[in-house]
Structure 1
Amino acid sequence: MELAAQVGRRLRELREARGLSLSELARRSKIGKGTLSELEGGRRNPTLETLYALTTVLGVPLSAALHQTSLRAEISGHAVDAVLTERFEEEDAVTDVYRVRFRAGMAQESTAHTPGTTEHIVILGGTARVGPPSSAAVIGPGQHASWAADVPHLYQAEPGGDVDALLFVRHPR
């Protein structure tokens, strides 16, 4: 629960810095107020989907909630596990680098991120379908794809095995 406590404190800091009440952040992110309170109090482990919903409303990259933790920040979602490995801050953008695994036969649709966000993926093993659902690319080991991430997008492991990849998420400031 150490990671949950650190992420919870960081979420509260980000919310307060933007002048949002707990109720307002809950309403905008469509996360229950009780759930948000438990997250901020470190009493609940955040999921990948929940953290993305909150950080998108807060207008910050996912790594803003993770990079100041002293632990290996591994976050899991319905179909995807992600470990933040690097965070690069430039004057005009923040780029997060994640080692990700999509579970075999599973799909996760991610909601739109902040305007101007892009994603780039390199597949290390397995075959995945990635990008906006209407134009998703099917790629395998050694291949890569990029897409605008300010629209809903998909991560799907094809049946037959997990997918391991490096995911680069670039957020404009």
Structure 2
Amino acid sequence: METTPGADVAAILDAIGPRLRALRQSRELTLAEAADASGLSISILSRVETGRRQPTLDVLIPLARTYQVALDQLVAAPATGDPRVHLEPHRHSRGGIVVPLTRYPTRVQAFKHVVGPRTPHLVSHEGHAWLYVLAGTLRLIVGDDELELHPGETAEFDAAVPHWFGPANDTAAEILHLFGPHGHRAISRLDHQEA
């Protein structure tokens, strides 16, 4: 039995409220906290989540910003053939914006990391790290060594050694960051260099 276009739209709209509630709860926010962060009233947010108010763009846009998701993730519109993956950036506790590229907590993880100016504070923890500079100049301190890495350059180190990285100047640096949480390393099958 075929559904009518109107029924499809109604089903999409009906699913938005529960999706908003699930997103809010996954971020461990109360209604009051989500309302405060988004600039919406608690009553509007509550009515949208329970389906008593139809969600409109003036509600969905601030909520997408608050929950740091793409607008179409709130609406779950039908697929359009767009192959892009919507990644979820978040603010790192030690500064900068981190975009997880993989979701494998027990294996090597990949991140895109935009690091803004910050004061050096060396840390150490279990694991193994590999950095690749995409843009800007990265200052890297590992133990007693200090390096400046430029776009296209890489560094690899044991995260148990006290380390820190950040921009070498007032301009943000953008890096790819591979991290093996238990000392795991990325496996190289080819190490070919020109003679």
| TM-score scaled by length of structure 1 | 0.51
Matched position secondary structure for 1:119 = strand
Higher relative contact order (CA 8 A, sep 6+): 1
Which consecutive unaligned segments of at least 5 residues does structure 2 have? 1-19, 35-72, 74-86, 185-195
Partner AA of 2:90 in structure 1: E
Task: Say which of 109, 113, 117 aligns to 1:96.
Answer: 109
Partner AA of 1:94 in structure 2: R
Change (3 A) 1:137 1:87: farther
CA–CA separation in structure 2 for the residues paired with 1:78 and 1:167:
15
Give the 5 Å matches for 1:6-155: 6=26, 8=28, 72-88=88-104, 94-103=107-116, 105-109=117-121, 111-113=123-125, 115=126, 117-155=127-165
Change (3 A) 1:123 1:134: same
Worse-superposed segment, 132-141 or 94-103: 132-141
Give the total of aligned pairs. Answer: 112
Which consecutive unaligned segments of at least 5 residues does structure 1 have? 9-38, 45-69
Q: CA deviation at 1:108?
A: 4.8
CA–CA separation in structure 2 for the residues paired with 1:112 and 1:124:
24
CA–CA separation in structure 2 for the residues paired with 1:5 and 1:110:
34
CA–CA separation in structure 2 for the residues paired with 1:108 and 1:4:
34
Change (3 A) 1:102 1:6: same
* RMSD between aligned residues: 3.5
Residues 89, 97 of structure 2: 8 Å contact kept: no
Residues 143, 161 of structure 2: 8 Å contact kept: no
CA–CA separation in structure 2 for the residues paired with 1:4 and 1:109:
33
CA–CA separation in structure 2 for the residues paired with 1:108 and 1:163:
14
Change (3 A) 1:138 1:4: farther
CA–CA separation in structure 2 for the residues paired with 1:73 and 1:142:
23
Residue equivalent to 1:161:
171
Change (3 A) 1:135 1:97: same
Larger CA Rg, structure 1 vs 2: 2
Partner AA of 1:6 in structure 2: S
CA–CA separation in structure 2 for the residues paired with 1:144 and 1:167:
10
CA–CA separation in structure 1 for the residues paired with 2:155 and 2:103:
20
Partner AA of 2:180 in structure 1: R
CA–CA separation in structure 1 for the residues paired with 2:129 and 2:113:
13
Identify the structure with the greater strand proportion: 1
| TM-score scaled by length of structure 2 | 0.46
Matched position secondary structure for 1:94 = coil
